[in-house]
Amino acid sequence: MECRKEINLKNCNCSYESCSRKGLCCQCIAYHKDSGELPACYFDNNAEKTYNRSIGYFMKLNSR
Protein backbone atom coordinates (compact mmCIF):
# COMPACT_ATOMS: atom_id res chain seq x y z
CA MET A 1 0.00 0.00 0.00
CA GLU A 2 1.30 3.41 -0.96
CA CYS A 3 1.92 5.95 1.79
CA ARG A 4 -0.70 8.72 1.80
CA LYS A 5 1.55 11.28 3.48
CA GLU A 6 0.96 14.08 0.95
CA ILE A 7 -2.81 13.60 1.14
CA ASN A 8 -2.70 13.36 4.93
CA LEU A 9 -0.75 16.62 5.18
CA LYS A 10 -3.60 18.47 3.46
CA ASN A 11 -5.86 17.52 6.38
CA CYS A 12 -3.30 17.82 9.20
CA ASN A 13 -3.85 20.74 11.61
CA CYS A 14 -0.76 20.07 13.73
CA SER A 15 1.27 23.26 14.13
CA TYR A 16 4.40 21.45 15.32
CA GLU A 17 6.00 21.71 11.90
CA SER A 18 9.32 20.10 12.76
CA CYS A 19 7.76 16.81 13.89
CA SER A 20 9.08 13.90 11.83
CA ARG A 21 5.69 12.14 12.14
CA LYS A 22 3.68 14.94 10.52
CA GLY A 23 1.57 13.39 7.76
CA LEU A 24 2.44 9.88 8.87
CA CYS A 25 -0.81 9.25 10.74
CA CYS A 26 0.07 5.66 11.66
CA GLN A 27 3.20 6.83 13.49
CA CYS A 28 1.50 9.93 14.89
CA ILE A 29 -1.35 7.97 16.48
CA ALA A 30 0.98 5.27 17.85
CA TYR A 31 3.28 7.89 19.38
CA HIS A 32 0.51 9.74 21.18
CA LYS A 33 -1.30 6.54 22.16
CA ASP A 34 1.86 5.33 23.91
CA SER A 35 1.85 8.61 25.85
CA GLY A 36 -1.84 8.37 26.76
CA GLU A 37 -2.62 11.20 24.36
CA LEU A 38 -4.53 11.99 21.19
CA PRO A 39 -3.08 13.49 17.99
CA ALA A 40 -3.54 17.14 17.05
CA CYS A 41 -6.48 16.46 14.73
CA TYR A 42 -8.70 15.65 17.73
CA PHE A 43 -8.45 19.30 18.79
CA ASP A 44 -9.57 22.51 17.15
CA ASN A 45 -6.85 24.83 15.90
CA ASN A 46 -6.70 26.97 19.05
CA ALA A 47 -6.60 23.99 21.43
CA GLU A 48 -4.06 22.22 19.26
CA LYS A 49 -1.63 25.13 19.60
CA THR A 50 -1.37 24.52 23.36
CA TYR A 51 0.35 21.18 22.56
CA ASN A 52 -1.67 19.67 25.38
CA ARG A 53 -2.66 16.40 23.71
CA SER A 54 -3.92 14.70 26.86
CA ILE A 55 -7.17 12.75 26.89
CA GLY A 56 -8.16 14.74 29.98
CA TYR A 57 -7.82 18.02 28.08
CA PHE A 58 -9.83 16.58 25.19
CA MET A 59 -12.59 15.52 27.60
CA LYS A 60 -12.57 18.92 29.31
CA LEU A 61 -13.03 20.66 25.98
CA ASN A 62 -15.79 18.33 24.88
CA SER A 63 -17.81 17.95 28.10
CA ARG A 64 -21.00 19.88 28.61
Phi (first) and psi of residue 54, to 5 degrees: -70, 150
Span from 2-10, 16-24, 55-63 in contact with ligand SF4 (CB under 6 A): 16-24
Angle at the Cα of 5 from the Cα atoms of 3 and 9, rounded to 5 degrees: 160
The reply to whether 40 sits near ligand SF4 by the rule CB under 6 A is yes
Please report whether residue 28 would count as binding ligand SF4 according to CB under 6 A. yes
Size of the site for ligand SF4 (CB under 6 A): 10
- The nearest distance, CB 34 to ligand SF4, in angstroms, is 11
The sign of the torsion formed by the CA atoms of 17, 62, 59, 29 equals negative
